[in-house]
Amino acid sequence: MFGANLKKMILRPRLEDIKVIGYYLGKIIIALGLIMAVPILFGLTQAEISPVLDFFIGMEITLIIGLILTKACATEKDLNWMQGMIVVSLSWLVATALGAIPLYLSGHWNSYLDACFDAMSGFATTGLALVQDLDHLSLTHNLWRHLIMFIGGQGIVIVALSFFVKGASGAFKMYVGEARDERILPNVIHTSRFIWLVSIVYLILGTVALGIIGISLGMKPFNALFHGACIFMAAFDTGGFAPQSQNILYYHSLAFEIVTIVIMILGSLNFKLHYCLWTGKRREIFKNIETRTLFITILITFFITALGLTQINIYPRAITLFRKGFYQLISGHSGTGFQTIYAIQFNNEWSHLAMVGVICAMALGGAVCSTTGAIKMLRIGIIFKALIEDVKKIILPERAVIIQKFHHIKGIFLEDKQVRSALLITLAYLILYGLGSCVGMFFGYPFLNALFESTSAAANVGLSCGVTAASMPAALKYTYIIQMWAGRLEFMSIFTLIGFFIAAIKGK
């Protein structure tokens, strides 16, 4: 009876809904097309004519689609919550399909599906890759791989909000749909521009620092700065792509690894915390529940990983344990996916306990309103606070009034709705990790390997134990693409999109 009444309540989407969604989606597509001008201009400076043509074709197709949508769906109406969520969820799929065009045209991907896999991996800041012969990929295509990671870390919609939207009240709906629910500044558009300001300033500083190290390693100045820029974009946006197939192992430099660790940690922090640091409120980093939880979970997961590695005595020296063990751990916990070991070494050299430590780190992630994926530290901290509150209720007298607080930029009273939200999102991630693991095992991969790779994809990390390869089944590629998409957007906008399609079919 209730189900029948609920079915009657579902309303079929109106034409006006589709027009508003199409119009704003078209704007985002146009923004993506204009960004393709960056690799075109860069390619011209490097005399890479064929890659420039690849991006010119991609840019032309993208702009045509964007212009058709904005003209056909022209409207002056603003977005409501449903429309904003749908625009966000669709924009990531469309950006993946269009961003993959110049990659596929390069000839370094075996299929368009493989190119879409890498495009989603880039936009979702995951870092899993199916590219072939990466060491001979053009500089222009390599720049695009890292640029889409830089865009995805800030958010595809953030680009539109920062440069192409002027004062639309629906901006906040898209901002929230992209898994960000904290305004750093009162105006969400100003918030978006601050996020870009922070990112660009760090980009300059990080590129210079990594470039200097590269030059000291014997690289030519241009190559050193190019690698520095690419590595920074992947590290700060907790992605994991690198210009060379050996990833960070290519550089064989302790200094390079230490700098990337610092950048990875910066990328895993809340942009609101960056604002506090920039405005002189440096004590916030020690008081905030997220940074405290991050520090504790890093210690716990590294203890598990180090215990697993010392059991088999694979890295007897402390410096080797730091560079091979701690580096993979912090890379996984920050959601970056940089590796200083080969993927096959996870299987051949690491113990199962050590891999479990890294899997737990990947599953937890960094801060909310950062460039990371996964469950995130604020939710873990809130769940732990709720657990303490429940224990106190059992221990203390029934008449005792228990008030639980936590500090996140300001003092906040713990409420049931916060705990419920944290638990639901955590449960959704755990289910996503589990479903991907089941698909991996269905195709014959061992449980631990399937869980490792599934967690890496769904948590937008990028560490690989060797499952991700161009030869893996197409169904597993689609699975990881969906996991990367769902994990990056944190479900709500995707659930809204599913509900929209159900309403279109069954609505009255």
pLDDT digits (tens, 9 = 90+) for 96-119: 999 999 999 999 999 999 999 999
Least trusted range by pLDDT, from 106-110, 163-167, 352-356: 163-167
Angstrom distances, CA of residue 401 to CA of 92, 101, 209, 415 = 47, 60, 53, 14
pLDDT for the residue 167:
47
Torsion of CA 411, 417, 418, 423, to 10 degrees: 160
Q: What is the mean pLDDT of the chain?
A: 88
Residue 462 pLDDT class (50, 70, 90 cuts): very high
Provide the 8-state DSSP code for 127.
-
Which helix (H) or strand (E) segment is 482 a member of? Answer: helix 474-489
pLDDT of 157 higher than 70: no
pLDDT for the residue 1:
44
Burial class of residue 466 in the structure, from the number of CB atoms within 10 Å of its CB (0-12 exposed, 13-18 middle, 19+ buried): middle
Write down the pTM of the prediction: 0.90
pLDDT for the residue 2:
43
pLDDT for the residue 131:
96
Contacts 24+ apart (CB under 8 A), 40-43: 40/140, 42/139, 42/140, 42/143, 43/138, 43/139, 43/140
Residue 156 pLDDT class (50, 70, 90 cuts): low
Q: What's the rounded Cα separation, in Å, for the pair 322 and 301? A: 14
Residue 55 pLDDT class (50, 70, 90 cuts): very high
Alpha helix segments (H runs only) across 443-468: 447-458
pLDDT for the residue 436:
97
pLDDT for the residue 6:
46
pLDDT for the residue 449:
96
Percent of the chain with pLDDT over 70: 90
Q: What are 265-322's pLDDT values in tens digits? A: 998 988 888 888 888 888 888 889 999 999 999 999 999 999 999 999 999 999 999 9
Angle at the Cα of 299 (from 458 to 392), degrees rounded to 5? 90
Least trusted range by pLDDT, from 35-49, 59-73, 173-187, 279-293: 173-187
- Structural contact between residues 238 and 152, judged by C-beta atoms closer than 8 angstroms: no
Torsion of CA 444, 446, 448, 449, to 10 degrees: -60
Residue 239 pLDDT class (50, 70, 90 cuts): confident
As a whole number, mean pLDDT of residues 40-44 equals 96
Q: What's the rounded Cα separation, in Å, for the pair 199 and 263? A: 11
pLDDT for the residue 507:
67
pLDDT for the residue 207:
94
What sign does the CA torsion over 345, 350, 356, 357 have?
negative
Residue 392 pLDDT class (50, 70, 90 cuts): confident
pLDDT of 45 higher than 80: yes
pLDDT for the residue 498:
86
pLDDT for the residue 506:
76
- Reading the block at residue 459, the tokens are 């948590």
Percent of the chain with pLDDT over 90: 61
Got the DSSP string for 289-343?
HHHHHHHHHHHHHHHHHHHHHHHHTS--SHHHIIIIIIHHHHHHHTT----SS-H
Least trusted range by pLDDT, from 137-141, 189-193, 308-312, 426-430: 189-193
Of 211, 214, 305, 224, the closest CA to residue 252 belongs to 214
